[in-house]
Amino acid sequence: MFTRLVLALTLLLGASLAQAERLKDIASVAGVRSNQLIGYGLVVGLDGTGDQTTQSPFTTQSFNNMLKQFGITMPEGTRMQMRNVAAVMVTAELPAFARPGQAIDVTVNSISNARSLRGGSLLVTELRGLDGNTYAVAQGSLVVGGFGAQGADGSRVTVNVPSVGRIPSGAFVERSVANNFDDGQPIVFNLNRADFTTANRVAQAINDKMGPDVARPMDGGSVVVDSPVNPAHRVEFISILENIEVTPGDEAARVVINSRTGTIVVGQHVRVAPVAITHGSLTVSINETYAVAQPNPFGLGETAVVPGTDIDIEEDINPMFEFAPGTTLEDIVRSVNQVGASPGDLMAILEALKQSGALRAQLVVI
């Protein structure tokens, strides 16, 4: 059953690789990307599920610093028990070409011991880039998918992760990120997966559509395209390019094994040299038994327990099967199905084939 599923998946993947794909699906324009933002803030309004301030003093310090901005100073040595406040890290992704005033989604993550953020509201939080500048400001009520319940005897039930929440459109962009889109230089398309065949086909497809010598591959991962200088014309030009259909090159023959989950994926172009295989297993069973030894009725002996051991050795006898020259993926899976190999057995067979030099593919173990 497992190997039949592997065959079906790999055949579907192989069929999809042979189809043409839009350029926008296999490549991206160099310099046009999103940027990561991060900030530190406070979530308030929790129903007693916030941080335990005795174990997270930075929550109390942050809250006191916020109060000082409103002219409220707490006396020295004041120990506040704020179970409705939680310290959080706020993250967001700033899209390319985002302008001031646009809204973006944010993710709020508890960084201390708050049990749940459900029902809380994030206070105004600056979101900064790696350069230290503030690019967005977040605030709003959280949407939390997880929840938990706790009984008086200490029993607890938790569904999903209640210490993480989202705020849809919870931040407004305050500053744009500079890019080189309108600098008049040629456009560079970076392939999502570097491949010399794909890069060459992309250049040929663009030249067929836009004229000779417009595009040329730089290497196996990038294609440079001469484009108009005017920004409006560049947008129209890229709109045409990203909808050009290209047939990517076939991937290299590869077998991927995940030994932790038992997942095995065999690529479309995997071949096996002529080889004969047999795979069996040896099972040893040891059972401990105990017998009672009774003395003669009128003897002076004592009742004793006599241990015994039964050892049973069973070896599975599996037939040997042969791979002919040029064996394909379908032949490999069919042969393995005939001997009833489990995922673990299939891993051992593939590794042995690689060691013998009969497997014409890369063996990747993750």
The CA-atom distances, in angstroms, between 103 and each of 3, 116, 118, 150, 278 are: 47, 26, 22, 37, 62
Q: Can you tell me the distance from the alpha carbon of 217 to that of 210, in angstroms, rounded to the nearest whole number?
A: 15
Same domain? For 135 and 186 the reply is no
For 46-93, give the DSSP string: -SS-S--TTT-HHHHHHHHHHHHHTT--PPTT-----TTEEEEEEEEE
Same domain? For 140 and 260 the reply is no
Structure tokens at 308: 């015994």
Same domain? For 45 and 141 the reply is yes
Taking Cα atoms as reference points, which of 55, 58, 27, 18 lies closest to residue 42? 58
Same domain? For 137 and 242 the reply is no
**Mean pLDDT of all residues in 296-322:** 64
Q: What letter would DSSP give residue 119?
A: T
Residue 3 lies in a domain: no
The answer to whether residue 45 scores a pLDDT higher than 60 is yes
**Of the candidates 195, 215, 246, which is a domain's last residue?**
246
Question: Quick one: pLDDT at residue 212?
Answer: 92
Same domain? For 142 and 186 the reply is no
Residue 1 lies in a domain: no
Looking at per-residue confidence, does 246 or 278 come out higher?
246
Same domain? For 79 and 163 the reply is yes
Residue 13 lies in a domain: no
The CA-atom distances, in angstroms, between 1 and each of 8, 190, 245, 258 are: 11, 39, 36, 18
Structure tokens at 222: 């990038």
Residue 4 lies in a domain: no
Range of the domain at 318: 254-365
Q: pLDDT by residue (tens digit) across 120-173? A: 999 999 999 999 999 999 999 999 987 666 655 555 666 678 899 999 999 999
Question: Quick one: pLDDT at residue 12?
Answer: 44
Same domain? For 135 and 264 the reply is no
Same domain? For 333 and 236 the reply is no
Same domain? For 82 and 156 the reply is yes
Same domain? For 91 and 148 the reply is yes
**Of the candidates 148, 173, 198, which is a domain's last residue?**
173
Q: Can you tell me the distance from the alpha carbon of 86 to that of 41, in angstroms, rounded to the nearest whole number?
A: 9
- The single residue listed with the structure tokens 């301030």 is 53
Q: Where are the alpha helices (DSSP H) in the chain?
A: 2-17, 23-26, 57-69, 196-210, 231-241, 329-338, 343-356
Do residues 312 and 285 touch, judged by C-beta distance below 8 A? Answer: yes
The CA-atom distances, in angstroms, between 223 and each of 53, 193, 210, 240, 308 are: 55, 13, 14, 16, 76
Q: How many domains are there within the chain? A: 3
**Of the candidates 118, 151, 173, which is a domain's last residue?**
173
Residue 266 lies in a domain: yes
Q: pLDDT by residue (tens digit) across 126-135? A: 999 999 999 9
Residue 117 lies in a domain: yes
- The single residue listed with the structure tokens 């999502």 is 192
Residue 12 lies in a domain: no
Q: pLDDT by residue (tens digit) across 93-113? A: 999 899 999 999 999 999 988
Same domain? For 186 and 86 the reply is no
**Direct distance between the N- and C-terminal alpha carbons of the chain, in angstroms, rounded to an integer:** 23
